[in-house]
Amino acid sequence: MRRLLRSLSFRLTLIYAGLFCLSVALLMGTGYWLRVTVPMDRAQRLVKSEARALRAAYLANGPAATAAALDRRAQRSDGPKTFHALIAPDGRVVTTNLPGWSNRPTDGLTLIEADSFADGAEIDHNALVSDHYLPDGARLLIGRDVEDVTSEAEILRTAAIWILGVTVLLGFSSGWLMSLAIGRRIEAVTLAARQVMDGDLTGRVQVRGANDDFDRLGETLNLMLSRIQSLFQAVQRVSDNAAHELRTPLARLIGRLEALERMAGDNPALQTAAGEAIVEANRLRQILSALMRISRLENGRHPLELQRTDVVQLLEDLVEFYQPEAERLGIELILSARRPLVADLDLDLVFQALSNLLDNALKHASGGRRVELSARRQREWLELAVRDDGPGIDLEDAGRVTEQFYRGRDSGAVPGDGLGLSMVAAIAHAHGATLELAPASPGLRVALTIPDQRLARG
Amino acid sequence: MQILLVEDDAALAAHIMAGVREAGHVVEHCADGRDALVRATCESYDAIILDRMLPTLDGLKVLAALRATDDATPVLILSALGDVDERVRGLRAGGDDYMAKPFAMSELLARLETLARRNAPVTEAASVLRVADLEIDLAGHVVTRAGRRIPLTLRELRIVAYLARNAGRVVTRTMLLENVWDYNFDPQTNIIDQHISKLRHKIALDDETNLIQTVRGVGYTMRAE
C-alpha cells in the first residue's frame, strides 16, 4: 500500500483526478452564480425597495389607500408576478393574492409557495416575500415571484450531484488508465535495465513506434546500450583473445623451462634457477585463469549450477581443509552453524569464495588467535561470514579490496596476487549476493549475504 | 604406452611429444579433428590426449563420436578453456580427465600414467590396499602399519588410499585436490602440503621408511623402497 502511495503514477492519478474535479466544480459554480445568485440578489433588492415604498405609503395614506395601491400593483405588474397581503391589526385580511403565510412574520425575506390557477391549470409560483409589522400593528407582506430562479437552482443542484459524481469517476478512471499506460512504458525501461544488469547485454527497451517522448527515451537508451554492448564486446574479444593467445605460449614457455630443468642435469645452480622460473610461470598461469574466471563470472557468462546444499557440511569440509594450515599457524578455527541449514547454491563457487576468505583470514590475521566461520539464516537471507581477530583493515582499504590486483597497504609481506577478494565479489555477484567487509573490533568480519530466491525452503 | 596426441598448435605438440617420448612412451600426432577420429577408431591406443578447439571437428564432438562406437580408450582433454564449467562439460562428454592450458609437463605425464592404468583390470575394486608394510582396509576404514593401527580421519584415509592405488606413480597436488576433495576449486595457498605433512607424520612411525615422498616441483609419490 505504501509502495502504491509512493509510486509516481498513482500520485499522477490523484493529481489529475483532483484537478479535473476542481475545474468542473469551478465551471458549475460560475454557472450557479450567474443563473441563481445574481437574479436572486436582484429580486431581493427589488422586493426590499418595494416594501420600503409601500410601508411609507401606508404610514402616509392609511390602510384603504394602500390596499388600492396594492391591488393596482398586482394588476399591472412590470417584471415578475407580484404578491402582497395586508392584514389589519385585528387580524382581518384587508387584501391579498397569497394563498397563505406563516403565523408570525419572520425577519428579513422568506420564500412562500404561491401556486395560482389559470384556465384550470396550476401554475407554480415561489414568492420571495418581505414580511413585517407596521407601527400600528398591521402586517404587510410584499413579494415577487422567483419561481424561475428557484427551479433553476433546484435543477442545477440536482445536476451538480450527478455531474460531480460522474466527474470523480471519470477523473479517477482516466487518471488510472493514464498512469497505467505511463507505468507500463516506464516498466519497459526498468525491465530492459534489469536484463542488462543481469549480464544480458542484448536487452533493449521496447519501442512502440508512436514517436512520443517515451519512444525517444527508449531509442536513446537503446542506442546507448548498443554502444555499450559493442564496446564491451570489443573489450571482451580483446581480453578473451589475449587470455587464449597467452595460454598457449605460456604452455610452451613452461615446456621450455621444464626442458631446461631436465637439461640442467647435475648442475644444481641451473636446476634451481629453472625451478624458480617454472614457479613464476605457474604463478602467471594462476593469475591468468583467475582473471578469466572473474571476467566470466562478472559478465554472467558462467552459468550457475545451483544444487541443494547442506550448508553446514560445506563449512565442515572447509574447516577440515584449512585445519592443518591453521594448526601450523597456531590459529583456532571455529565453526558456528546449526543444522538444518539447507540452501540452493553453486557448491564449487561458494566453496571457492569461502576458501578465499578463509585463506585471507589466515594470511592477514597476523597476531590473531582465532578465525570464526559462521552461517545463519535470517528469514530471507543466508549469511555466510568469516571473522578474524587480527589487525583488521582501515576504511579506505575496505572500499578498494575487491578491486582486481589491489592489495591492502599493510600486506607487503603477505604473499598473494590481489585477486582473491575480486573473485569472491564476482561469485557474490553471480549469486545475487552482497559482500560486506566490516570491522569486528578486533579484526575483520567479511559477510556474504545470499538472497531468498536462491534459497530452498526448509 | 601407445599414445595419440591431437593438438593443432605445432610448437606445443612438439613440446608435448618430446616430453611424452622422454617418459618412455610411443606417441603419434595429428592436428585435425576428423583425422583424429579416423585414427582413434582404426587403431588401438592406451590413451588419447585431445585438444578441445580443433580444425574441422571440435574435440568434444570427436570424443562423443568415439564414445558412440563403444570405444573406451582413456581420453585426457586438453583445453585453453579452463574454467570449472568447461571442465564439467568435458567430463560429461566422456572425457576421463581434463587439463587446462597451460600446464606443467610433469602434471600431464602424471595424469597420463594414472589414466592408462585406470583402463587396466587391476585391483581397483579391492577392499584392501597394501604398500610395503602399510595396509589399508577400505571397507573397515582401518589403516595399519606393520601391524600397528594408525588413527586417521576419513579425509586422510582417502588421501592414503589414493596414493596407495597409484603407488609408484607421481600424484600431483591438483590430482589430489580433484580426487580426494569433492569440490572443484583453486586453493590460494598450497594447503595440500599441510595435509600431506600431517599425514606423513601420522604414518611415519619412529624412523621407519618414509612412505610418502615429495617429488620436487611436481607432487607426491608413495613408494616402497
Q: CATH code at A130?
A: 3.30.450
Q: Which of the two residues, A297 and A54, has the higher pLDDT score?
A: A54
Number of residues that make up chain A: 458
Please state the three-class secondary structure of B162-174 as a single string.
Answer: HHHHCCCCEEEHH
Q: Does A279 touch chain B (CB under 8 A)?
A: yes
| Residue B50 vs residues B14, B33, B120: alpha-carbon distances, Å | 14, 9, 20
Residue B201: CA count within 13 A, CB half-sphere: 7
CATH at A384: 3.30.565.10
Contacts of A278 in chain B (CB under 8 A): 104, 217
Bridge partner residues of B215 (DSSP) = B219
Q: How far apart are CA B140 and CA B122, in angstroms?
A: 21
Give the type of residue at A256: R
* Per-residue pLDDT at A354 exceeds 90: yes
Looking at chain A from residue 94 to 133, which residues have their Cβ under 8 Å from any Cβ of chain B? Answer: none
Domain annotation covers residue A178: no
Asked if the interface predicted TM-score (ipTM) of this complex is over 0.90, the answer is no
Q: How far apart are CA A321 and CA A186, in angstroms?
A: 50
Q: Does A144 touch chain B (CB under 8 A)?
A: no
DSSP β-ladder status, A116-118 and A139-145? unpaired
Number of separate domains in chain A: 3
CATH at A286: 1.10.287
Q: Is A303's CB within 8 Å of B85's CB?
A: yes
Domain annotation covers residue A188: no
Residue-wise burial string across A93-108, b where 16 or more C-beta atoms lie within 10 A, e elsewhere = ebbbbbeebeeebeee
Inter-residue contact A418 to A407 (CB < 8 Å): yes
pLDDT at A457: 43
Q: Which of A152, A180, A205 is the last residue of a domain?
A: A152
Three-state SS for A319?
Answer: helix
Q: How far apart are CA B216 and CA B162, in angstroms?
A: 19
Same domain? A369 vs A272: no
Q: Is A328's CB within 8 Å of B194's CB?
A: yes
pLDDT at A286: 80
Same domain? A244 vs A368: no
**pLDDT tens track for A383-429:** 999 998 877 777 677 767 777 777 766 666 666 677 888 889 888 88
Q: How far apart are CA A417 and CA A411, in angstroms?
A: 11
Q: How far apart are CA A197 and CA A389, in angstroms?
A: 36
The CA-to-CA distance between both ends of chain B, in Å, stands at 25
Give the type of residue at B17: M
Domain annotation covers residue A143: yes
* Per-residue pLDDT at A280 exceeds 50: yes
Give the cell for residue B106: 610433469
Q: What angle do CA B118, B123, B128 make, to 5 degrees?
A: 130
Positions in chain B short of pLDDT 50: none
**pLDDT tens track for B111-133:** 988 887 765 555 555 678 888 88
Same domain? A354 vs A420: yes
- Percentage of chain A surpassing pLDDT 70? 93
Q: Which of the two residues, B76 and A17, has the higher pLDDT score?
A: B76
| Residue A230 vs residues A192, A202, A206, A245: alpha-carbon distances, Å | 17, 10, 19, 21
Give the cell for residue A387: 571473522
Q: DSSP state, A34? A: I
Burial class (CB in 10 A: 0-12, 13-18, 19+), A415: exposed
* Per-residue pLDDT at A454 exceeds 50: no
Instruction: Tell which residue, A17, A16, A19, has the closest CA to residue A27.
Output: A19
Same domain? A376 vs A439: yes
Domain annotation covers residue A163: no
Domain annotation covers residue A203: no
Q: In the A/B pair of chains, how many CB contacts fall below 8 A?
A: 111
Contacts of A268 in chain B (CB under 8 A): none
Same domain? A258 vs A235: yes
Q: DSSP state, A33? A: I
Same domain? A325 vs A444: yes
**What is the residue whose three cell numbers read 397563505?**
A100
pLDDT at A111: 85
| Residue B104 vs residues B53, B100, B111, B174: alpha-carbon distances, Å | 20, 10, 11, 11
Same domain? A236 vs A317: no
Three-state SS for A102?
Answer: coil
Domain annotation covers residue A32: yes
Q: How far apart are CA A135 and CA A88, in angstroms?
A: 11
pLDDT at B168: 84
**pLDDT tens track for B20-33:** 898 889 999 998 88
Three-state SS for A365?
Answer: coil
Q: Which residue of A has its CA nearest to B217?
A: A275
Q: Which of the two residues, A7 and A123, has the higher pLDDT score?
A: A123
Q: Which residue of B has its CA nearest to A349?
A: B185
Give the cell for residue A321: 581443509
Same domain? A13 vs A147: yes
* Per-residue pLDDT at A456 exceeds 50: no
Angle between helices A311-329 and A347-364 (to 10 degrees): 30
Same domain? A278 vs A312: no
Which region among A41-55, A216-230, A259-273 has the lowest average model confidence (pLDDT)? A259-273
Q: How far apart are CA B29 and CA B46, in angstroms?
A: 14
Note down the domain range covering A222: 213-298
Cis, bond preceding A442 (omega within 30 deg of 0)? yes
Please state the three-class secondary structure of chain B as a single string.
Answer: CEEEEECCCHHHHHHHHHHHHHCCCEEEEECCHHHHHHHHHHCCCCEEEEECCCCCCCHHHHHHHHHHCCCCCCEEEEECCCCHHHHHHHHHCCCCEEEECCCCHHHHHHHHHHHHHHHCCCHHHCCEEEECCEEEECCCCEEEECCEEECCCHHHHHHHHHHHHCCCCEEEHHHHHHHHCCCCCCCCCCHHHHHHHHHHHHHCCCCCCCCEEEECCCEEEECCC
User: Which residues 6+ apart lie within 8 Å of A177 measured at CB?
Assistant: none
pLDDT at B224: 65
Q: Which of A99, A134, A152 is the last residue of a domain?
A: A152
Percentages helix, strand, coil for chain B (3-state, rounded to 5) are: 40, 20, 35
Q: Which residue of B has its CA nearest to A321?
A: B191
Domain annotation covers residue A64: yes
* Per-residue pLDDT at A86 exceeds 70: yes
Option in A262, A282, A352 nearest B104 (CB): A282
Q: Which of A243, A267, A298 is the last residue of a domain?
A: A298
Option in B19, B22, B100 nearest A289 (CB): B100
Q: How far apart are CA A140 and CA A157, in angstroms?
A: 33
State the average pLDDT over residues A435-458. Answer: 75
Give the cell for residue B6: 591431437
Same domain? A294 vs A338: no
Q: How far apart are CA B100 and CA B84, in angstroms?
A: 10
Number of residues that make up chain B: 225
DSSP β-ladder status, B26-30 and B2-6? parallel
Q: How far apart are CA A145 and CA A112, in angstroms?
A: 9
Q: How far apart are CA B169 and CA B225, in angstroms?
A: 13
Q: Does A348 touch chain B (CB under 8 A)?
A: yes
Q: How far apart are CA A413 and CA A398, in angstroms?
A: 19
Same domain? A276 vs A310: no
Percentages helix, strand, coil for chain A (3-state, rounded to 5) are: 55, 20, 25
**pLDDT tens track for A241-257:** 777 678 778 877 887 88
Give the cell for residue B50: 585431445
Angle between helices A213-264 and B10-22 (to 10 degrees): 40
pLDDT at A45: 92
Inter-residue contact B79 to B98 (CB < 8 Å): yes
* Per-residue pLDDT at A55 exceeds 60: yes
Option in A247, A328, A348 nearest B102 (CB): A247
| Model confidence pTM above 0.90 | no
State the average pLDDT over residues A161-170. Answer: 88
Give the cell for residue A1: 500500500
Give the cell for residue B92: 560429461
* Per-residue pLDDT at A319 exceeds 60: yes
Same domain? A7 vs A108: yes
Q: How far apart are CA A274 and CA A259, in angstroms?
A: 9
Q: How far apart are CA A78 and CA A72, in angstroms?
A: 12
Inter-residue contact A424 to A357 (CB < 8 Å): yes
Instruction: Tell which residue, A443, A415, A446, has the closest CA to residue A433.
Output: A446
- pLDDT confidence of A279, banded at 50, 70, 90? confident
Inter-residue contact B31 to B13 (CB < 8 Å): yes
Domain annotation covers residue A37: yes
Give the type of residue at A285: R
Instruction: Tell which residue, A455, A457, A437, has the closest CA to residue A447.
Output: A437
Inter-residue contact A222 to A239 (CB < 8 Å): no
Residue from A244, A252, A263 whose CB has the most chain B CBs within 10 Å, to mutate: A252
Inter-residue contact B219 to B175 (CB < 8 Å): yes
Q: Is A355's CB within 8 Å of B85's CB?
A: no
